Structure 1
Amino acid sequence: MEEILTTAAQPAQRTARGVQTRGRIVSTAAELMRVRGVGGTTLDDIVRASGVSKSQLYSHFADKAALVRAVIEYVGERTVGGERERLGKVKSFAGLKRWRDGLIANNALEQGRYGCALGSLANEVSDHDVVARAQLQALFTTWGELFEDVLRRFQSNELIPADADVAQLATGLVAAVQGGYLLAQTAGDVAPMAAAVDVSLAHLQLLSNTDLAH
């Protein structure tokens, strides 16, 4: 995966222009990798698409691995940040159902074509880059903790039993979402994703006497 640059990278000056250029490189790389995959995206592709020179790219990133790690950070902030905002509002089964509907509707915009950006990155780089794997593990852990927070609120509101294993239930929700993304991507249809998430929500429902509409 790693693509070594022939010019030694120099530390980028932290000017406003430098920050803007680095940001453009990372956001462009993230979009290309989302569509083409990490392996299908070259540094030359990123240079052309971002409109920067090779020397500008070299000044910010020593090699492709360094750029991929920056992409993981960028994608992670967007993905987990968005989930933090959405899940932070969930205090009831009705709220959880609204979260589910938004998740499915958003993935339906492209017929589930590209899957989860974090999941796709994990599939491509986890076996080859221990630093990237640690980044991704931390992001998925944080995502799971957001679900745990939701479930603890459910416990406080007596929607699920106080002795329910929220860590285990949260892991199941993350797995349902990630597996759902993969199924939707291979099917070109969000229906399998909806089914996967619904099964996880139905399991939660079995722990409660509260209807999903409430």
Structure 2
Amino acid sequence: MPIKPGTLTAKGRETRRRIVAAAAQRMFEGGVAETTIEDVRALAGVSNSQIYHYFEDKTALVRAVIEYQTDAVIEPQEQLFARLDTMDGLRAWRDFAVARQRELNCRGGCPIASLAGQFAERDEAARLQLAHSFDRWSAGLRAGLVAMHANGTLSPDADPQALAVALLASLQGGLLMAQLNRDTEPLEMALDAALSYIESRTVRHGA
């Protein structure tokens, strides 16, 4: 029976983290179906018995990878989420997303979306877990827009939830096109269009 994460020693947590990080890297680069336990073992520098000490099977490892990738994508944005209650804050988040893609040379796309594309029609539990990941991401964006609505910056009839979903959808579409074109311009255009719409719903612009 695999050990539960909450009962691990510090050394055990580090070993488990290394296994999950290796699995996330391999699945992101080569696909989930093509990733084997042997691939993960070699990349993480552990034994098969160590992997099965922490994970019952590949399915359990995939669940951990989804959680890991979700944290890896969202946690670096959390400080920015706290400042999304102004247009300047939204533009700073936009600039962060574009700069990140430039660092990666527009390779790989969104790790969460990559997993979603592989699981949405094949694994209901994974689909629901990934939907929750996007809900968590959307909630970070929505919090700032709710604050803008509460402080009177957004028009009273503006819907922060709808704006957050539209902003996240613009990001995802932009990331895909940036990946295909190896150029951040589609991402910049998509986000700028979304932000322009949000700005049009501010009281300052007479919405």
Query: How many Å separate the matches in 2 of 1:206 and 1:102?
Result: 22
Query: How many Å separate the matches in 1 of 2:204 and 2:112?
Result: 33
Q: What corresponds to 1:6 in structure 2?
A: none
Q: How much has 1:19 moved relative to structure 2? A: 1.9
Q: Within the alignment, does 1:37 sit opposite 2:31 as a pair? A: yes
Q: How much has 1:17 moved relative to structure 2? A: 2.6
Q: What corresponds to 1:174 in structure 2?
A: 168
Please tell me the residue identity of whatever aligns with 1:65.
Answer: T
| Percent identity over paired residues | 37
Q: What corresponds to 2:117 in structure 1?
A: 123
Q: What corresponds to 2:57 in structure 1?
A: 63
User: 1 or 2 for the larger relative contact order (CA 8 Å, sep ≥6)?
Assistant: 1
Q: What corresponds to 1:104 in structure 2?
A: 98
Superposed, 1:1-214 pairs within 5 Å as 10-12=1-3, 14-208=8-202, 210=204
* Unaligned stretches of 5+ residues in structure 2: none
Q: How much has 1:33 moved relative to structure 2? A: 1.8
Structure 2 contact 152–203 (Cα < 8 Å) conserved: no
Query: How many Å separate the matches in 1 of 2:132 and 2:104?
Result: 27
Please tell me the residue identity of whatever aligns with 1:11.
Answer: P
Query: SS state of the match for residue 178, structure 2?
Result: helix
Aligned length: 202
Q: How much has 1:210 moved relative to structure 2? A: 4.4
Query: How many Å separate the matches in 1 of 2:122 and 2:90?
Result: 36
Cα RMSD for the two superposed structures: 1.7
TM-score, normalisation: structure 2? 0.90
Query: How many Å separate the matches in 1 of 2:142 and 2:152?
Result: 15
Q: CA-to-partner distance for each residue in 1:98-133, whole Å, 9 max, x for gaps? A: 111111011111221100111111111222222211
Query: SS state of the match for residue 33, structure 2?
Result: coil
Query: How many Å separate the matches in 2 of 1:43 and 1:37?
Result: 13
Q: How much has 1:139 moved relative to structure 2? A: 1.3
Q: Which moved more, 1:142-151 or 1:32-41?
A: 32-41
Q: What corresponds to 1:7 in structure 2?
A: none
Query: How many Å separate the matches in 1 of 2:198 and 2:86?
Result: 12
Query: How many Å separate the matches in 1 of 2:204 and 2:113?
Result: 32
Q: Which moved more, 1:65-74 or 1:35-44?
A: 35-44
Query: How many Å separate the matches in 1 of 2:64 and 2:136?
Result: 18
Q: CA-to-partner distance for each residue in 1:21-48, whole Å, 9 max, x for gaps? A: 1111001111222222223322211110
Q: How much has 1:170 moved relative to structure 2? A: 1.0
Please tell me the residue identity of whatever aligns with 1:195.
Answer: M
* Unaligned stretches of 5+ residues in structure 1: 1-9
Q: What corresponds to 1:5 in structure 2?
A: none
Query: How many Å separate the matches in 1 of 2:77 and 2:133?
Result: 11
Q: How much has 1:156 moved relative to structure 2? A: 2.6
TM-score, normalisation: structure 1? 0.88
